[in-house]
Amino acid sequence: MSACPIVPEIIKIAKLSKVYRSGADEVVVFRDLDLAVSEGEQVAIMGASGAGKSTLLHLMAGLDRPTGGAIFYRNRDITHLSETDVSEFRNREIGYVWQQHYLMRDFSALENVMMPLMIRGGAGETARQKAQACLKEVGLAERIHHRAGELSGGEQQRVAIARALAGEPSVLLADEPTGNLDEGTGEAVFALLGELRQKRGLTTILVTHNSKFAQSCGRVLKLERGALHPIE
């Protein structure tokens, strides 16, 4: 009987701490938090509002710096990178989907998706082709030239997903990606995220309050009192 193949860790968090200081007071979000995520895994993080779920995602994306500890991406510690290097890392390796889509309302869907590719320094025509392909992938082939402000909430979130994936990241982080959508639209968007993960071989970590969505993931964790606990 052959042994199961070992799936390498893509993200490892070691003794991570985040403490906010206000005068003499300290607000401890978490301290000595550990987490290992295997390549291709889909992890859901749940927890009460204010537990630090969004803060944890921000740290994993290099959008914020921890007070202590380290975050390793394929054995590379990203917590001590320069601002330039961490920005480059994020642009090339991380796709981020927010609860608010943060699209530029007066720009077309195509232009919104092209933006991170242009920031990376890609050629205009190449960026256009990639953006078109991503919008087609999320079911918006017929809406690429519509301004973001002309799209429905569900369509806007699909544009945001296409934008997150345009740079072909290895990891997709999603912070309440269905939180502002009605139930039916939210289910469709969540199903799309699952399909894209499988198709692209993505590692996905998402924050959600929706237990139904969370339970469809490979692993569910609850962030409570500064620690992550598995939910069966």
Position 7 scores a pLDDT of 65
pTM for the predicted model, two decimal places = 0.91
Does residue 100 register a pLDDT over 90? no
The chain-wide mean pLDDT, for the chain, equals 91
Position 119 scores a pLDDT of 78
Position 230 scores a pLDDT of 93
Does residue 3 register a pLDDT over 70? no
Does residue 132 register a pLDDT over 80? yes
Position 65 scores a pLDDT of 93
Position 152 scores a pLDDT of 94
Position 91 scores a pLDDT of 87
Does residue 138 register a pLDDT over 80? yes
Domains (range + CATH), the chain = 9-231 (3.40.50.300)
Give 179-228 pLDDT, tens digit per residue: 889 999 999 999 999 999 999 999 999 999 999 999 999 999 999 988 99
The residue type at 204: T
Does residue 27 register a pLDDT over 60? yes
Position 117 scores a pLDDT of 87
The residue type at 107: F
Does residue 2 register a pLDDT over 90? no
Distance CA 99, CA 160 (A): 10
Give 31-86 pLDDT, tens digit per residue: 899 999 999 999 999 999 889 999 999 999 999 999 999 999 999 999 989 999 99
Given a contact cutoff of 8 angstroms between Cβ atoms, the answer to whether 33 and 16 are in contact is yes
Q: What is the mean pLDDT of residues 108-127?
A: 86
Distance CA 198, CA 192 (A): 10
Distance CA 206, CA 220 (A): 10
DSSP track, 148-201: GGGS-HHHHHHHHHHHHHTT--SEEEEESTTTTS-HHHHHHHHHHHHHHHHHHT
Give 174-190 pLDDT, tens digit per residue: 999 998 899 999 999 99
Q: What is the mean pLDDT of residues 228-232?
A: 89
Q: Where are the alpha helices (DSSP H) in the chain?
A: 53-60, 83-93, 109-120, 124-137, 153-165, 183-200, 211-215
Of the two residues 100 and 136, the one the predictor is more confident about is 136
Q: What is the mean pLDDT of residues 110-116?
A: 93
Does residue 4 register a pLDDT over 60? no
